[in-house]
Amino acid sequence: MAKSPHERMLEQLELDLTAVQPHGGERIDASFLHRSFCAAGLPVSRPKDPIRFDRYDDAFSLNILSPERTLPGGKSAAFGVPWGPRARVLILWMSTQARDPKRGAGDRWLEIPSINSWIPSLGIPHSHAAEKSLKEQLVKLAFSQFSMFLKNEDVVLLHDTKLIESVAFTDSDIEAFLAGQIGKVRWPLALRLSEQAFSTFRSPKAIPIPTHRLATISDSALAIDAFMYLCYRLPELAEQGTDASEMVGWRRLVAQFGKHGQAPSKFRELFLPALKDALGAYPEAAAGVEVTDEGLLLRGVELPALARSFIAVPPLPTPAKRRKVRNRNAATAAPAPATNTEEGMP
């Protein structure tokens, strides 16, 4: 099977970095997401209907259901469909973990590491608010079903399936979640992907995403959507040549990333600031994006230029603060000259 432009881009970058790594310590920082999730976003904000979410156009459809569950004692509860930036990042993490080359072909269990190190590794600055929203969206993902269809390829990617097949939550965790006490919900040690989700995530149609670039847009679902869409489309256009272009109309963008029935003019008001933020995180893509009255005009950008976004440079070490030298005999020592009050001063 021929390799995708995304695969070839990363392979060449790996070869290039091998030659320079001893000098700079650079590394490739990439997460992976199936292209269908790059082309159709989850709800941007909390949906009015917590049970069902639909997104579609003439070429694709995405349906998310979170039906009511009956709990012990007969009480019914709805956990709600996942939404917002944290849900997107969690799906990106699950997809990346599923594609780990060291993972066994049937190993669908994903361990959740130490929270203090895990959250920054997702491209999210660690904070109490970030931890709370991640936990909320993890619960919603665990209780939701997904269906996804692509018409042009005559394929069903997901059909009435859960991304997460099992995860250990106790009765007290569920009660705390439903009461809005997210802080009392304990983090599970691991989760297990469904067979269908695992297979989809491991397919060769995954799109590499430069994880470290997410930090500056980690609070904006729409900016993440724009960022991932550009990661998906620009390398494919580059494969056709730097003269290749594609017009993505505003109505199509509304279907992919907006709200159902949203006026293109209203969507544009919200999308353009998010696109600006996405290009701030992905400046290598700027040469391939032009905003027009009709929509976004995308152009091919050379793969080596786009590949630079995956180079993560280790942060410079924080300089150690200089300790002031104190004279333990200050009480008995003679006064120092006025021009030499501290050690090391002229």
Domain ranges of the chain: 5-312
CB 300 within 8 A of CB 242: yes
More confident residue, 260 or 319: 260
The tokens for 250 are 């505003």
Q: Which residue has the higher pLDDT, 248 or 346?
A: 248
pLDDT of 292 over the 90 cut:
yes
Write out pLDDT tens, residues 147-156: 988 776 655 5
Question: pLDDT value at position 213?
Answer: 92
Please report, for residues 167, 215, 237, 326, the alpha-carbon distance to residue 5 in angstroms, rounded to integers and kept in the order given.
36, 25, 9, 62
**Angstrom distance (rounded) from CA 165 to CA 257:** 27
Q: What is the mean pLDDT of the chain?
A: 84
